[in-house]
């Protein structure tokens, strides 16, 4: 499970302060997107073996890039390659408004890993005439376009134009409307030509007698129809996405002898075996080994992992994050993880749903070195894995906070006026400036380390019981756990902070975001559909409604502007505890109807008047609501055929990185 950045700050500083001040974090802005870059502080102090390990793991992260494009939509690679052929070879005038608008569209496709918005999953369109696309293609090197065998250029132009411009074709990547066939209506490429019922009937054949150690059936495959029958195409080296997986395996094999510990070597061996076989038992074996590797400083995530992209919440997108431990910052996370049993025992949930013995909750703060797949260009700020409930229960989990990413967000946002526009008082602003970074980091630590790893399912309850509502409810559960314990005196006793003003700063930020400011990411007339956004509004609106009688939280008008005001932080914390207890019950009992009712009532619909006001105020700030990153570039240095160093540089612009990646890592 991952936690995504909202509008926050960060505390951690790069080791070289002067370098940080000179570093350009914000690179460019287009449409609703800002492109940033992050530093990798501490990389130069790593050993040569660690640097080389990071290099090969980073190569593996890049080799899976085509997979995420194809998983998101079956025509994404065709559109991307068409765009790139035009950019690389168009012989016409590139200074016109139309060409500049086309270039913005191409950048949006790169950013979203396809033609659907990365957050709303709505299809977006180029702001150019349809016939201009034909002109671009006709005045480019036609040998570069991805024509089908025997296809004429005219037919290709008609086909691509239909994909890009037709608003009646695949206009939504993920449909979550429970009244619809969410499989057939979604454009995601996990399914082809099958209905929701057919998928559910197919999956029902794989009911496992031992639900306590059930495999994640369907995690790494596509379902489609062949000769009238539903068949499964597994992602593996001799199966679907085989050419890209083969390259990932090649890089993992290079990384294997560089592993820092025996258990890390074993985990890489199991990951390679899994990619070769597609066997989900091997995937579980890999995760068990991976979660036990606590001594390696260099670590990585690589695989088909998160199921947010599947309307049914089963199939996983490919992702990778390469990182190494920030030793000093990790001390905070280790305090939290070492007290995991106390937090579990004292959680405000029914004792039936508590783990009697919390196992192997490890936590660390990491420095990201490379992002790939579904974590690139947009990235989480925290991760807790593995996702399998039984592995968490029996073997524990790894929780990480990614502070060089949150630091880059903070530096790129300095002076943009956002906090001043949406905070009710100067005291609230000062509280955020003083404690916001620490509060945000602690929330991430508690969310990932304890929240996702807390609680248990009752015997016989499937982790898939909540279906298309599971992701939003799980993120809400983890957020509530974090919010509740930020206000507990135990946090001060443990030395995590020395003033409850830290808790107040986070409560202010969370309610402000959940009730108002995250609406900057929603188009007028649209519902909230992204899981993390649903989670935040669910919590904020539920607490606002339940606390209205005592005015625990209010929406107050000042100077014709709406503001969120918290009047009683202690009572608000009690509300967090009440909602946590209910959502834990829903998950533990697999109560689909109650989960559905909670999400549909509080998490989906938007207050139109408030939304319009927020958008108007936000527009004046000229801030892009979404952000993503370019990766640093790692280059091995050889002397007389022997590796002597791995250099890292930050000189690659967004368009250059995307074109280079397409040239060097296109395998599908």
Bridging pattern class, strands 553-558 and 361-373: unpaired
* Lowest mean pLDDT across 169-178, 330-339, 588-597: 330-339
Q: What percent of the chain has pLDDT over 70?
A: 96
Rounded to 5 degrees, what are φ and ψ at 205? -70, -15
**To which H or E segment does residue 391 belong?**
helix 389-395
Residue 568: CB atoms within 10 A of its CB come to 14
Q: Residue 32 is part of a domain; what is its CATH number?
A: 3.30.540.30
Residue 204 within any structural domain of the chain: no
Residue 146 within any structural domain of the chain: yes
Whether residue 386 has a cis bond before it, omega within 30° of 0 = yes
Listed residue (84, 72, 75, 66) closest to 163, CA to CA:
75
Same domain, yes or no, for 448 and 305?
Answer: yes
Residue 469 within any structural domain of the chain: yes
Residue 296 within any structural domain of the chain: yes
Same domain, yes or no, for 546 and 653?
Answer: no
In the structure, what pLDDT confidence band is assigned to residue 410 with cuts at 50, 70 and 90? confident
C-alpha distance from residue 659 to each of 370, 379, 654 (Å) = 17, 20, 9
Per-residue pLDDT tens over the stretch 382-394: 888 999 989 988 9
C-alpha distance from residue 150 to each of 76, 82, 153, 156 (Å) = 21, 17, 10, 10
pLDDT the model gives residue 414: 77
Same domain, yes or no, for 346 and 413?
Answer: yes
pLDDT at 18 over 50: no
pLDDT the model gives residue 624: 93
Give Cβ neighbours of residue 574 (< 8 Å, ≥ 6 apart): none
Cβ atoms of 72 and 116 within 8 Å: the answer is: yes
415: left (phi over 0), alpha (psi -120 to 50) or beta: left
Give Cβ neighbours of residue 149 (< 8 Å, ≥ 6 apart): none
Average pLDDT (516-536) is 93
Q: How many domains does the chain have?
A: 2
pLDDT at 362 over 70: yes
Residue 325 lies in domain: 26-66+240-629
| Cα atoms found within 13 Å of the Cα of residue 598, Cβ hemisphere only | 30
Cβ atoms of 313 and 307 within 8 Å: the answer is: yes
Same domain, yes or no, for 500 and 362?
Answer: yes
305 or 360, which is more confident: 305
C-alpha distance from residue 447 to each of 323, 337, 388 (Å) = 20, 11, 17
> CA-based angle 467:472:473, to the nearest 5?
80
pLDDT the model gives residue 360: 65
Residue 124 within any structural domain of the chain: yes
Residue 21 within any structural domain of the chain: no
Residue 183 within any structural domain of the chain: no
Structure-token match 């979550």, residue found: 176
Structure-token match 């808790």, residue found: 503
Q: What percent of the chain has pLDDT over 90?
A: 83
pLDDT at 549 over 50: yes
Same domain, yes or no, for 257 and 402?
Answer: yes
Same domain, yes or no, for 462 and 568?
Answer: yes
* Lowest mean pLDDT across 93-107, 209-223, 270-284, 496-510: 209-223
Listed residue (176, 188, 46) closest to 116, CA to CA:
188
Same domain, yes or no, for 57 and 105?
Answer: no
pLDDT the model gives residue 151: 97
Residue 301 within any structural domain of the chain: yes
pLDDT the model gives residue 207: 74
Same domain, yes or no, for 39 and 143?
Answer: no
Average pLDDT (199-222) is 86
Same domain, yes or no, for 518 and 569?
Answer: yes
Same domain, yes or no, for 570 and 430?
Answer: yes
Same domain, yes or no, for 620 and 644?
Answer: no
pLDDT the model gives residue 382: 85
Same domain, yes or no, for 589 and 652?
Answer: no
DSSP letter for each residue of 104-146: HHHHHHHHHTSSB-TTT-BB---SS-HHHHHHHHHTS-GGGS-
Per-residue pLDDT tens over the stretch 445-488: 899 888 988 999 999 898 889 988 999 999 999 999 999 999 99
């Amino acid at each position: 499970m991952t936690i995504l950045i909202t509008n926050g700050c960060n505390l951690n500083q790069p080791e070289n302060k002067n370098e940080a001040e000179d570093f350009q974090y914000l690179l460019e802005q287009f449409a609703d997107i800002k492109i940033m870059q992050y530093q990798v502080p501490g990389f130069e102090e790593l050993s040569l073996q660690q640097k080389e390990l990071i290099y090969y793991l980073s190569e593996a992260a890049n080799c899976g890039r085509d997979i995420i494009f194809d998983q998101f939509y079956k025509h994404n690679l065709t559109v991307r390659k068409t765009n790139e052929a035009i950019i690389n070879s168009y012989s016409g005038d590139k200074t016109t408004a139309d060409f500049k608008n086309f270039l913005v569209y191409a950048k949006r496709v790169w950013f979203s890993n396809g033609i659907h918005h990365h957050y709303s999953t709505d299809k977006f369109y180029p702001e150019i005439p349809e016939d201009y696309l034909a002109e671009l293609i006709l005045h480019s090197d036609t040998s570069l376009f991805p024509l089908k065998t025997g296809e004429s250029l005219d037919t290709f132009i008609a086909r691509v134009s239909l994909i890009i411009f037709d608003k009646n074709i695949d206009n939504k990547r993920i449909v979550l409307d429970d009244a619809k066939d969410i499989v057939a209506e979604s454009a995601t490429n996990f399914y082809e030509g099958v209905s929701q019922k057919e998928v559910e009937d197919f999956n029902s054949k794989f009911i496992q007698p031992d639900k306590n150690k059930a495999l994640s059936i369907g995690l790494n495959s596509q379902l489609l129809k062949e000769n009238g029958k539903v068949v499964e195409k597994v992602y593996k080296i001799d199966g679907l996405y085989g050419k890209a997986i083969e390259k990932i395996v090649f890089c993992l094999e290079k990384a294997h002898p560089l592993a820092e510990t025996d258990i890390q070597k074993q985990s890489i061996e199991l990951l390679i075996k899994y990619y070769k076989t597609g066997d989900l038992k091997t995937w579980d074996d890999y995760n068990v080994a991976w979660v036990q590797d606590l001594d390696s400083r260099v670590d990585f995530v690589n695989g088909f992992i998160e199921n947010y992209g599947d309307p049914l919440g089963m199939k996983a997108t490919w992702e990778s994050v390469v990182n190494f431990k920030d030793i000093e910052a990790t001390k905070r996370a280790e305090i939290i993880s070492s007290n995991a049993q106390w937090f579990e025992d004292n959680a405000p949930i029914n004792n039936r749903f508590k783990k009697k013995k919390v196992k192997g909750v490890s936590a660390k703060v990491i420095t990201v070195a490379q992002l790939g797949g579904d974590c690139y260009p947009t990235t989480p700020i925290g991760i807790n894995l593995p996702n399998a409930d039984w592995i968490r229960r029996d073997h524990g989990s790894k929780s990480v906070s990614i502070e060089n990413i949150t630091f880059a967000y903070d530096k790129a946002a300095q002076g943009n006026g956002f906090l001043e526009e949406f905070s009710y008082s100067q005291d609230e602003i000062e509280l955020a400036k003083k404690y916001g970074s620490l509060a945000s980091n602690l929330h991430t630590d508690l969310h990932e380390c304890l929240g996702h790893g807390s609680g248990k399912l009752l015997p016989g309850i499937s982790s898939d019981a909540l279906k298309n509502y599971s992701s939003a409810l799980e993120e809400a559960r983890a957020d509530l756990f974090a919010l509740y314990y930020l206000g507990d005196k135990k946090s001060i006793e443990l030395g995590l902070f020395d003033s409850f003003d830290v808790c107040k700063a986070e409560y202010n930020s969370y309610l402000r975001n959940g009730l108002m400011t995250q609406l900057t990411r929603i188009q007028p007339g649209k519902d909230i559909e992204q899981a993390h956004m649903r989670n935040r509004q669910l919590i904020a609106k539920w607490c606002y409604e339940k606390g209205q009688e005592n005015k625990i939280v209010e929406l107050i008008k000042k100077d014709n502007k709406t503001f969120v005001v918290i009047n009683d932080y202690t009572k608000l914390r009690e509300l967090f505890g009440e909602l946590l207890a209910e959502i834990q019950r829903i998950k533990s009992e697999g109560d689909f109807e109650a989960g559905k009712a909670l999400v549909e009532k509080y998490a989906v619909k938007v207050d139109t008047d408030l939304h319009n006001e927020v958008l108007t105020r936000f527009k004046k700030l000229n801030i892009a609501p979404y952000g993503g990153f370019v990766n640093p570039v790692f280059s091995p240095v050889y002397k007389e055929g022997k590796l002597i160093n791995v250099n890292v540089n930050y000189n690659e612009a967004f368009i250059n990185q995307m074109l280079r990646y397409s040239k060097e890592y296109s395998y599908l």
